[in-house]
Copies of this chain bind each other. A is one copy, B any other.
Amino acid sequence: MDGQEISPRRATSADVARLAGVSRTTVSFVLNDTPTQSISAETRRRVLAAARELSYAPSAEARALSRGRSTSVLVYLPPARSLTEEIGRIVERLSMLFDEAGLSMVIHAWTRRPAAQVWSSVTPAAVLAWDLTDEDAQLMRGNGVRGVASWTGTDAIGRWVTGAREQDSARLQVGRLVAAGHHRLGYAVTGADHMHGASQWRCEVLRRECEQRGLPAPGVIRLPADPSRAAQALEQWRASAPGVTGICAHDSTAALAVLAGMRRLGWRAPEDLAVVGVSDSAAAALADPPLTMVALDPEVTARYIVDVVTALVAGSPTPPAPSSGGAILVDRDSV
């Protein structure tokens, strides 16, 4: 299949019209079911037959051009470190929901600098980013991008994600640990994410949750994703924060790092230190001990994001945020 034969240029609506013996306008009316126009049954049949015969599909570009607005949504992929299994599932769900909404999802890796370059060469109807400065957002809006939203921003989606969604996770994490008798908590993150975007928010929300329950603010433990170095970091931290018995891990990897470090030190979970992570994964279920995790429903998140974006594109008011963040506690053995 290497020598792909030169494809006869794809069929256009004019080809369909010619084959069906009608005008191009009629073809358009039939295929779009234009309600203001009536078409005889016979003509409709002929047009549909011709379209099928030529396996005609309208050109997305021409359609976008004609209707005046693009149908593509540019989604900036979060930085590699944050590309978790959960995000993968959200992305997958997004692609299907956007498709149902008649939008196509263009994905691009987030590169700090030439961001403007990308969104301007794709001319999307909306942009969904992980992290976005207000200047960037303003610039995009000024250039015809109707919907601009970000995960950690101050727009509708950002507020919900960093609000209800994070709050749900924090409540479940802290609640589970407290129920097991842990009153001094810590917050674990891996790598360079420390104090960046999502991590920053999570930490803040956890602090508030603890405060509300009359617990001391959780200290931050930054762990390398390597067993022996994780052990080292864990030991150092233990010395500086005695009495902490429960850990809220930022994600699956952070939870695994805590477990790996503990193993090296001869500590046992949950006896010596209890762990609850966020964003469930296959690896978490297979850990030793199997990790108790807060699972975030990709469906709820994807649904809300698509609803907001389509509303922005259509110019209608943004829908109310779901009251729940779609978080569920998956109880296993690490607490």
Contact = CB atoms under 8 A, between A and B. Distances in A.
By CB atoms of chain B within 10 A, which of A70, A123, A252, A263 has the most? Answer: A123
A282 B109 CA distance: 20
A144 interface: yes
How many of these chains are in the complex? 2
A156 to B, nearest CB: 6
A150 B150 CA distance: 32
Interface string A141-153: 1111111100001
A143 B227 contact: no
Given A77-B95, A123-B60, A141 B7 contact: yes
Interface residues of A, number: 81
A88 B95 contact: no
Contacts of A99: 108, 118
Given A96-B111, A144-B9, A83 B85 contact: yes
A317 to B, nearest CB: 9
Given A57-B123, A60-B123, A104 B95 contact: no
A136 B256 CA distance: 42
Contact of A123 (B7, B61, B77): B61
